[in-house]
């Protein structure tokens, strides 16, 4: 799939997830075979940029792969300004968020709340596309609620405005992340526009990836929660798409190496204090089996990087590798 001048090496993209897809996580996923990783959502309001969190999200030092930066907001002029600013900072693609279902985003008429206002959607898309000389992509949901799935209409507006690729999460805003994603709307969108369409939602296994590609006819897949604690899912999916066979499971030695590397990158990115706290959720995702509940409870009480690394090493040395 091609986005502007950028030819993706395969059909697998890392979904932007606030508080999750930071540079450490994105680079891990890219090394495991993702063709592109979209950054965490950044508000278009410059008054919110003077924080450590925003500065980290706007920094591309050490970034691997194509730099796709997602922005969110509801004011066309502000969104255009934010797009220009991020391009000046090194963004190679600007992605517009119209899919986030969070209340704090929607109450500002941003994220998926915009799907209720197709005219405003067009004004925002026109403003951003005109403002920058890099490709602009869009992330949406299938609609505001199950009775108002207007994804096809929004997709057609996006194509008319010059959006170069469209990612669609197979739920409405009202659905949040409950129930199962539906792909009928995504299939209909693909059939009604000529720009590349990317399917997102509940793609958590190689078999599901194949099913969604075949059923919807989309150009690529965007994987979010399925990659949490499992960055190697991109390698697994690509192997299955290429061969029709499931790969051998990632062994414990590799899991140990990845977890320790991830911890190290989090400490480097956020510093010791914040890095320790961000590490808790990531390690929880890596070790999500019922029998590991006690490990997570103890790990989440640790206050230093050294203690966290030591506990991970001990877990694999004593509890896993010796079995």
> What is the chain's pLDDT, residue by residue, as a tens digit (323 residues)?
999 999 999 999 999 998 899 999 999 999 999 999 999 988 887 766 666 666 666 666 677 899 999 999 999 999 999 999 999 999 999 999 999 888 777 766 678 899 999 999 999 999 999 999 999 999 999 999 989 999 999 999 999 999 999 999 999 988 889 999 999 999 999 999 999 999 999 999 999 999 999 999 999 999 999 999 999 999 999 999 999 999 999 999 999 999 999 999 999 999 999 999 999 999 999 986 766 788 888 999 999 999 999 999 999 887 665 44
> 145 among the known binding-site residues?
no
Written in H, E and C, the secondary structure of the chain is CEECCEECCCCEEECCCCCCCCHHHHHHHHHCCCCEEECCCEECCHHHCCCHHHHHHHCCCCCCCCEEEEEECCCHHHHHHHHHHHHHCCCCEEEEEECCCCHHHHCCCCHHHHHHCHHHHHHHHHHHHHHCCCCEEEEEECCCCCCCCCHHHHHHHHHHHCCCEEEEECCCCCCCCCCCCCCHHHHHHHHHCCCCEEEECCCCCHHHHHHHHHHHCCCEEEECHHHCCCCCHHHHHHHHHHHCCCCCCCCHHHHHHHHHHHHHHHHHHHHHHHHHHHHHHHHHHHCCCHHHHHHHHHHCCCCCHHHHHHHHHHHHHHHHCCC
Of the residues 29, 100, 309, 319, only one is catalytic, namely 100
Catalytic residue list contains 100: yes
> 222 among the known binding-site residues?
no
> 16 among the known binding-site residues?
yes
């Amino acid at each position: 799939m091609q986005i502007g001048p950028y030819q993706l090496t395969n059909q697998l993209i890392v979904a932007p997830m606030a508080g999750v897809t930071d540079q450490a996580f994105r680079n891990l996923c890219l090394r495991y075979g993702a063709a592109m990783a979209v950054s965490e959502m950044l508000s278009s309001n410059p008054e919110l940029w003077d924080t450590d969190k925003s500065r980290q999200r706007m920094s591309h030092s050490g970034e691997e792969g194509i730099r796709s930066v997602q922005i969110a907001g509801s004011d066309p002029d502000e969104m255009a300004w934010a797009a220009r600013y991020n391009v000046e900072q090194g963004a190679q693609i600007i992605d517009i968020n119209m899919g986030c279902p969070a209340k704090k985003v929607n109450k500002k008429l941003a994220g998926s709340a915009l799907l209720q206002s197709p005219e405003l959607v067009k004004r925002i898309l026109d403003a951003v596309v005109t403002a920058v000389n890099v490709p602009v992509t869009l992330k949406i949901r299938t609609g505001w609620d199950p009775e108002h799935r207007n994804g096809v209409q929004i997709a057609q507006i996006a194509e008319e405005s010059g959006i170069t690729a469209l990612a669609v999460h197979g739920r409405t805003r009202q659905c949040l992340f409950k129930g199962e994603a539906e792909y009928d709307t995504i299939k209909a969108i693909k059939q009604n526009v000529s720009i590349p369409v990317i399917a997102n939602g509940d793609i958590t296994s190689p078999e599901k990836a194949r099913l969604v590609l075949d059923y919807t006819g989309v150009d690529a897949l965007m994987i979010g929660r399925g990659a949490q604690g499992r960055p190697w899912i991109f390698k697994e999916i690509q192997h299955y798409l290429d061969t029709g066979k499931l790969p051998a499971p990632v062994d414990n030695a590799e899991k140990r190496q990845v977890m320790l590397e991830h911890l190290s990158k989090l400490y480097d990115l956020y510093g010791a204090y914040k890095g320790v706290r961000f590490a808790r959720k990531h390690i929880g995702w890596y070790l999500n089996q019922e029998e590991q509940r006690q490990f997570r409870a103890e790990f989440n009480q640790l206050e230093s990087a050294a203690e966290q690394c030591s506990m991970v090493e001990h877990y694999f040395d004593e509890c896993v590798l010796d079995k």
